[in-house]
Amino acid sequence: MLNQQAKLNPKIFDADVEMVPIRNGYGEGLVIAALADRQVVALCADLTESTRTEGFAKKYPERFIEIGVAEQNLATVGSGMAAMGKIPFITSYAMFSPGRNWEQIRTTICYNNRPVKIAGSHAGISVGPDGGTHQAIEDIAISRVIPNMVVISPCDAIEAKKVTIEAAQNGKPTYIRLVREKTPIMTTEETPFEIGKSQVFWDGEGAEIGIIATGALLHKALVSAKELNEEGIKVKVMNLATIKPLDEEGIAEFAKSVKGIVTVEEHQIRGGMGSAVAECLAKHEPKRIEFIGVDDKFGQSGKPDELIEHYGMGVGHIKEAVRKIL
Amino acid sequence: MFDLTQEKIKEFATVANEIRQTIIEALVEAGSGHTAGPLGMADIFTALFFHILKQDPKNPAWPERDRLVLSNGHICPVLYATMAHAGYLSVDEYKKTLRKFGSKFQGHPHREFLPALETSSGPLGSGLSQAVGMALADRIDNGKSSSRFIYCLMSDGELDAGNSWEGAMLAGKEKLQNLIAIIDRNNIQIDGFTENIMPLEPLRAKWEAWNWHVLEIDGHNFEEIVGAVNQAKAIFEKPSVIIAHTIPGKGVAEFERKYEWHGKPPKKEEAEMALKELRTLGGKIKSEHE
């Protein structure tokens, strides 16, 4: 059943659950972070409206820098501003930032340990019709491998808002992964959130399998848990928003009492959140793991749900992975 | 028009010569590293650290200081040597530990090891944009009347990298009057002469096209270096770039103008020859002790 402590949206399983793009939460959080700290600045690479940086740009034009289609410049100018004490949020699509500008992020932001916040919108395969060139499904891998970097993939717009507000003050280079499509609201303003802490959202007593999900697919993991419960299979579900630093203690504790783990992410299986969980469990609590994600393929055009199903990340796939371990 | 006396110029020449010697000594001890660029830029670094920069070597984190970004990190032997001679660091420690394990003086600058640096660098083409970011931040805080200047030192070879031009375009758009870029126009890069590898000319016209104020100087003439920076500071509606024509390997005849000296250190006997040449000012004085 849903963990009562997490104070989740009571409509989470309803057909009319609120649907909001995760990037909207970023946009709202950015304005709140800017109000709280005048050092917050935002830079954008010609995607101000679609990355939801628009609200900030209108409210704080003197703190907003339009970079144009130049993501390498986006990262390096951000680094320079951070060197002068600013807290820059640099925004583009995840494919281009941290995709195209990876080396600039590594050297000028992370190697220098500058508190630049990299907001990568339109991440995942659910960007849909734009096709494979615009579907960032390698971004968790390439960002979590860089020393000093914090990597966060919020599950809904409300969590994205909390992530943005907290990231502004964490003093570290931070990648925030955002999604374009409307996705279900699972959390509430009251749901506790802390960077670096995992949370159990579905707590099945005597659970045999643990599901660990990140990002919007968490909703499919929760639906899977509910359906499996009705079928007599007990599982529990963790929301793993912070992929780095990884909550190793929480994950090991979560895995202790179960037969195996299923990881769920809208990302390549290789190098993503599931890999991070596997690295952790191999060390602390070895378990069989099934990985739900994109299996070494590029995406293509299609409707978001159509693509999620085609590439093996639907509710059916999650339930099948659970049964495989049982 | 220049605030430089002949006495000052002589003093700078002596300092630059000492810096060149320190570079040679450090490189031969390191056994790897770049020779031509550091020797070629010794005069400009001397002018910056001994005259131009608003700085306090005893308090490197002084908030009011000017900022200096070294974009082409591989010429760090001259940055380290100049900072050491200026009083930021120990000359002796530098000579003994350049490029060695645990050293402050990493093969390419890393500010985690040397916090007095404004940034880490090495991968080319990213320094100008960082300087642009600093200039933008300074403008947000202090407006257009800010008395702080952000200097970016770049190589000509790194202008092959697109990131450099992205930074140039933004600086022109934002009319960053507090930004002064200095290009080491020494005409060499690793594979050969710049105009053979990837032609940059007409270089002045490129910068003018991005709405920069362009100055061209002899990068070994202290009056011209200081004069150009003074002029750049007086330009109010544009960022300025100083194209400094330099001789790679300057000061040691054997190393001068040869791209082969871009990325290797002198061997022991070559270093002895170079040091002798520097100490006798190319034979102008007879003995090292005169």
Query: DSSP letters along A222-244, please?
Result: HHHHHHHHHTT--EEEEE--EEE
pLDDT range class, residue B287, cuts 50, 70, 90: low
pLDDT one-digit tens code per residue, B123-135: 999 999 999 999 9
CB-CB neighbors (< 8 A) of A41 in chain B:
137, 140
Tokens at A137, concatenated: 């499904």
Q: Which fold has domain B6-279?
A: Rossmann fold (3.40.50)
Of all residues in chain B, the percent with pLDDT exceeding 90 is 94
Q: Is B235 helix (H, G, I), strand (E, B) or coil?
A: coil
Distance between CA atoms of residues A263 and A254, nearest Å? 13
B 85-124 residues with CB < 8 A to A? 110-112, 118-123
CB contact under 8 A, A85 and B137: yes
Q: Identify the active-site residue in A18, A49, A66, A71.
A: A71
pLDDT one-digit tens code per residue, B196-226: 999 999 999 999 999 999 999 999 999 999 9
Please tell me the predicted confidence (pLDDT) of residue A316. Answer: 98
Tokens at A248, concatenated: 């190793």
Which residues of chain A, if any, have pLDDT below 50? none
Tokens at B102, concatenated: 């645990």
Tokens at A81, concatenated: 């501003």
Closest C-alpha among B115, B30, B112, B131 to residue B74? B30
Distance between CA atoms of residues B239 and A207, nearest Å? 64
pTM: 0.96
Q: How far is CA A222 from the centre of its chain?
A: 16
Q: Is B60 on the interface with A (CB under 8 A)?
A: no
CB contact under 8 A, A41 and B163: no
- Pairs of residues, one from chain A and one from chain B, whose beta carbons lie less than 8 Å apart: 98
Please confirm, yes or no, whether A71 is among the known catalytic residues: yes
Q: For residues B162-187, give the mean pLDDT.
A: 98
pLDDT one-digit tens code per residue, B254-283: 999 999 999 999 999 999 999 999 999 866
In this predicted structure, the answer to whether residue B289 has a pLDDT above a threshold of 70 is no
Question: Among A68, A82, A103, whose Cβ lies nearest the Cβ of B123?
Answer: A103
Find the helix or strand (DSSP H, E) in which A175 lies.
strand A174-177
Question: Could you give all domains of chain A from N- to C-terminal order, each with its CATH number?
Answer: 4-16+192-325 (3.40.50.920), 19-184 (3.40.50.970)
Please tell me the predicted confidence (pLDDT) of residue B290. Answer: 45
CB contact under 8 A, B138 and A78: no
CB-CB neighbors (< 8 A) of A100 in chain B:
none
Q: Is A229 on the interface with B (CB under 8 A)?
A: no
pLDDT one-digit tens code per residue, B113-172: 999 999 999 999 999 999 999 999 999 999 988 899 999 999 999 999 999 999 999 999
Q: For residues B173-179, give the mean pLDDT.
A: 98
CB-CB neighbors (< 8 A) of A82 in chain B:
133
CB contact under 8 A, B129 and A80: yes
8 A C-beta contact, residue A275 and residue A141: yes
pLDDT one-digit tens code per residue, A212-233: 999 999 999 999 999 999 999 9
Average pLDDT, chain B: 95
In this predicted structure, the answer to whether residue B1 has a pLDDT above a threshold of 50 is no
DSSP 8-state secondary structure symbol assigned to residue A106: I
In this predicted structure, the answer to whether residue B288 has a pLDDT above a threshold of 70 is no
A 123-152 residues with CB < 8 A to B? none
CB-CB neighbors (< 8 A) of B176 in chain A:
none
How long is chain A? 326
DSSP 8-state secondary structure symbol assigned to residue B241: E
Query: DSSP letters along B124-183, please?
Result: TT-HHHHHHHHHHHHHHHH-TT----EEEEEESGGGGSHHHHHHHHHHHHHT-TTEEEEE
Which residues in A277-294 are b (16+ Cβ under 10 Å) and which e?
bbebbeeebebebbbbbb
